Amino acid sequence: MKINETLVDPYEKIATRYDRYVEPFLSVIRKIGLKMYPPKQGMRVLDVGCGTGTNLGLYHKHGCHLFGIDRSRSMVEANLSYNRYLL
């Protein structure tokens, strides 16, 4: 049995609605993060636990090179279904 087969995806049922309900609560934290690490053209950004890719989108607007990983397959699929940022 492979490791991936034993992991449960806790976001499977809510991934497509995650941004609608959770994003308003996280927006303040995202603003703080942008102040701490302001985006610059060509900057490389690694987002561990990228979820639906909202943080990646903020850096994408400024020409950063993006890398994102997430344990939840359904969150990454939601990111891709929004036609956002390839991880």
Q: What is the pLDDT of residues 3-27, one digit of tens each?
A: 556 678 989 999 889 988 988 899 8
Residue 38 pLDDT: 96
CB atoms closer than 10 angstroms to residue 47: 19
CB neighbours of 7 closer than 8 A, spacing ≥ 6? 71
Return the higher-pLDDT residue of 53 and 35: 35
- What is the pLDDT confidence band of residue 32, given thresholds at 50, 70 and 90? very high
What's the start-to-end Cα distance of the chain, in Å? 26
Check if the beta carbon of residue 72 is closer than 8 Å to that of residue 15. Answer: yes
Domain 12-81 CATH superfamily = Vaccinia Virus protein VP39 (3.40.50.150)
According to the model, what pLDDT value does residue 19 have?
87
pTM for the full predicted model: 0.75
The per-residue pLDDT for range 52-70, each reduced to its tens digit, is 888 888 898 899 998 988 9
pLDDT of residue 53: 87
